[in-house]
Amino acid sequence: MLSWFRKQGRGKAPSSVEAIQLRARDCHSHVLPGVDDGSRTLDESLDMLRLLQDEGVHRVIATSHIYPGRFPNERETLQPVFDTLVESASAAGLTIELELGAEHYLDDSLGPRVESGQHIEFGPERYVLFETHTFDQVPTSLFTTVATMRDRGLTPLMAHVERYQYLSGAEGWEVIEDLRAIGVKFQVNRTIGKINVPGEGRRGRMLEKLARAGYIDEVGSDLHRATPEGRPYAMPNGK
């Protein structure tokens, strides 16, 4: 199979900041079938895993959405789907390892969810992957929720940090520094085609700043489909 991730990722990275490539552990993917806006079928999930394995990924964290009102997933509903995928991947001859995680949406319910142990963590870091809205206002519960995670020995891992408008500009960078100071780690999405090219567009400028500051902790595919873009639709240019 063609190494399409690498081919797509060979964009021109300005100022010596390299394109963002996948690592041995993919910390953000939607490979569980039929539970959110990611994979729709078991066969599609296996195709997605083959693509990742061909790119040298050794471990995939299945981070399906936990999004109240939209994707009301819980560990109890995700675990049997995950177990079936693990068995099917092994039967298909795939050697890639799988681990159950989740992409938690940050709203007023996430803090209580963490307090009651209803979150899904992964890795030796005890990561809790979370996303927020993308608008220009800092989410009201952002700092209290990540503090709740830290108080319980968890590591907050902020998903696709480059997307959030409220982190742009000088004031946004202050928020980033404040988040780092309280132990938040940052996950970014890989470079694919003209998406997430460091230095280009709003997302690219954010990625370049994060890279220069040494703030890119994890890279994810954010894979939703077994396609080069990894998405069910044409991706925007990120500007």
pLDDT tens digits for range 143-187? 999 999 999 999 999 999 999 999 999 999 999 999 999 999 999
CB 127 within 8 A of CB 185: yes
User: What class does CATH assign to 20-220?
Assistant: alpha beta
Q: Which residue, among 119, 167, 173, 165, has the nearest Cα to 146 in the 3D structure?
A: 119
Q: Report which residue type is found at 35.
A: V
124-135: b (≥16 Cβ within 10 Å) or e:
eeebbbbbbeee
Task: Quote the tokens at residue 14.
Answer: 């300005």
* Alpha-carbon separation of residue 95 from 38, 80, 116, 160 (angstroms): 22, 20, 35, 27
pLDDT at residue 89 tops 60: yes
More confident residue, 237 or 141: 141
In the chain, where the domains are located = 20-220
Tokens of 41: 């079928």
Separation of alpha carbons 49 and 53, rounded Å: 6
- pLDDT range class, residue 227, cuts 50, 70, 90: confident
pLDDT of residue 14: 43
99 neighbors 59 (Cβ within 8 angstroms): yes
How far apart, in whole angstroms, are the C-alpha atoms of residue 82 and residue 73? 12
